[in-house]
Amino acid sequence: MKNNVKLARVSLSLTQEQLATRVAATRQTIGLIEKGEYNPSLQLCIAIAKELNKTLDELFWEVENK
Amino acid sequence: MKNNVKLARVSLSLTQEQLATRVAATRQTIGLIEKGEYNPSLQLCIAIAKELNKTLDELFWEVENK
DNA sequence: ACTTTATGTAATATATATATGTCATTATGT
DNA sequence: ACATAATGACATATATATATTACATAAAGT
């Protein structure tokens, strides 16, 4: 479940908590997603992608799938 | 939660049950996802995309997000 | 008409995503 | 050195995705 959320978030100078607030999640959830040990819901993935100006593929479609 | 799963599945002449088996899910879960009333997990979305030879964006990234 | 096959739908059970609360640790600033 | 902000990590509680079982229906084939 590796992804590019942390990279994209830091690029926008957002904290985990700021991102969490904007996607109506908690800091802990964002942390676990970035850590890659989580299986988030599609809705949350889409909310995160929109907030980080990325698409699902850019954040969650891993290299090995391409 | 509209998506293009049903369209892609039918294009490959797969039944809901065949797709379900290949992604280790149940027919009912596939049916609900296609109906658009579900919020599936990222792992399941990725499994479905791989099986249907599509990417996450092609199946789940809606027009209004583009 | 009858039999399969595919799908819709609903009830209940189970697994797990997510929230909540708390403490530790690691920057960062002053 | 101290204070604060940001993150990591770990419990427990709650919401919900998913499985299981079952029945109905519609389509397709014989």
Please give the domain boundaries of chain B with CATH numbers for all domains.
5-61 (1.10.260.40)
How much helix, strand and coil, in percent to the nearest 5, is found in chain B?
A: 60, 0, 35
| pTM (2 d.p.) | 0.93
What ipTM is given for this predicted complex?
Answer: 0.91
Per-residue pLDDT tens over the stretch A8-66: 999 999 999 999 999 999 999 999 999 998 999 999 999 999 999 999 999 999 755 65
Distance B40 CA to D28 C1' (A): 32
Protein residue with the closest CA to the C1' atom of nucleotide C5: B15
CB under 8 Å to A39, separation ≥6 — which residues?
Answer: A1, B41, B42, B43
Q: What tokens appear for B4 in the block?
A: 């293009």
> What pLDDT was estimated at residue A2?
86
The pLDDT of residue B8 is above 60: yes
Residues of chain A with Cβ-Cβ distance to B57 below 8 Å are 55-57, 61
